[in-house]
Amino acid sequence: MNFVAKALNLSISAAERLEERNILRKAIIKHPFFPDVIEAFRLDKKFGFYEDGTVVVKATDGVRVFRGFPKIRRALVLNPTLKKHFGDREIALEEKMNGYNVRVVKIGENLYGITRRGLICPYTTEKARESIESDFFEDYPDYMLCCEAVGLASPYVPNEVYGIEGLDFFLFDIRNSRTNESLSVREKEEIAESYGFRMARVYLTTHPDDFNGIKEVIDELNSNRREGVVFKDIEMKVDPLKYTTSSANTSDLHYAFRYFGEYARDFMLARIVREAFQSFEFHESCEEFNERCLRLGKAILEPMISSIRECSEGKTIYDESVLVFSSHEVLELFKQHLRLLGVDFKVEILDENGEIRVKFKRVMRSTNDRIRGILNGSTWR
């Protein structure tokens, strides 16, 4: 705990209190797969100016701090929000990809994948080591690659819209690991080209008052079932804003209502509110409005009825994903990682021809219990 206190400029007693309050928690399962890490702790909540997900690592080559992802505020309307936030600055419209956020870092001699919550994930680490060359970190030792991990073989957000069967990493920021300062969009693009990194696509560079150009990008993303856009000041001196498509909102609602016992009402309400403001700002025709209402209603009712029907037939509701491991060692370590997160799951080996293909079935316990209770006569609280 001494190294955490020193790294975060705290007294030892203050660091111990954070641990007692479960704000400071273990970030890793000790294992030979993580040879460079002696100990690692993460902030489960924001503390001072340190973001939640900040990780402090005691490593073989010293103590390192990896800052958490800064929160990105959301625009519900484009006008006047973009102008008010960015002024006359040039902005980039970067695709907001639908995966999970990963900080790829180098500790000692190896690469490590840190998730948004600050956990050093064995599966993500394995894939990062297979996909990303470490030469960038020889030239930029104090930086971290902020990526979206995308594909069907995702343990957290499997997604088929990108046509990626495995798991790929798309760079969206390069940040100083200690200060969290970001390189500019242009610097990031130059580095990505130099080191061969895949990037989240920048669709357009423009100014905040270019409503028609911005809406065209959003319409294109929506028609391709993409999640949305992140608006970024080219110089990265002003905080980004994010905006989601109608397709993403309805997709989120479909997922949330399928497992409605696991998701809070605020999660669902927020996406319905986004739909309302977008419909208003886009001046929809009666036909377009009715189409939106139909999409929204189906996204809410269809998955819920599907879950109710399955439970009524004695089936268990699972969230399933198919992952690909290179070794049984990492597979077993990932199981321990999920148990650390408190995930209730089952595992089915599908194939062991070279790589190990595994179906992970997360038991959605609250949804199952709630539906069965209601079908057996329980009342809604």
| Sequence letter at residue 178 | R
pLDDT above 80 (res 70): yes
Whole-angstrom distance, CA of residue 121 vs CA of residue 29: 9
Which two tokens mark 376?
Answer: 């057996």
166 confidence band (pLDDT: 50, 70, 90): very high
What is the pLDDT, as a whole number, of residue 37? 96
354 confidence band (pLDDT: 50, 70, 90): confident
What pTM was computed for the model? Answer: 0.94
pLDDT above 90 (res 222): yes
84 Cβ partners below 8 Å, 6+ apart?
A: none
Mean pLDDT of 333-361: 92
What is the pLDDT, as a whole number, of residue 15? 83
Whole-angstrom distance, CA of residue 266 vs CA of residue 227: 19
Domain ranges of the chain: 2-66+98-195, 73-96+202-244, 246-312, 318-375
10 confidence band (pLDDT: 50, 70, 90): confident
| Sequence letter at residue 258 | R
Domain 73-96+202-244 CATH (choose: 3.40.50.720, 3.30.70.120, 3.30.300.30, 3.30.1490.70):
3.30.1490.70
What is the pLDDT, as a whole number, of residue 352? 85
pLDDT above 90 (res 329): yes
CA-CA-CA-CA torsion sign (245, 247, 250, 256): negative
What is the pLDDT, as a whole number, of residue 155? 92
311 Cβ partners below 8 Å, 6+ apart?
A: 317, 368, 371, 372, 375
Number of other residues whose CB lies within 10 A of the CB of residue 135: 11
Which two tokens mark 211?
Answer: 């409503």
Task: Say if domain 246-312 classifies as CATH 1.20.58.2250.
Answer: yes
What is the pLDDT, as a whole number, of residue 107? 97
Average pLDDT for the chain: 95
pLDDT, greater one: 93 or 17: 93
Task: Say if domain 2-66+98-195 classifies as CATH 3.30.470.30.
Answer: yes
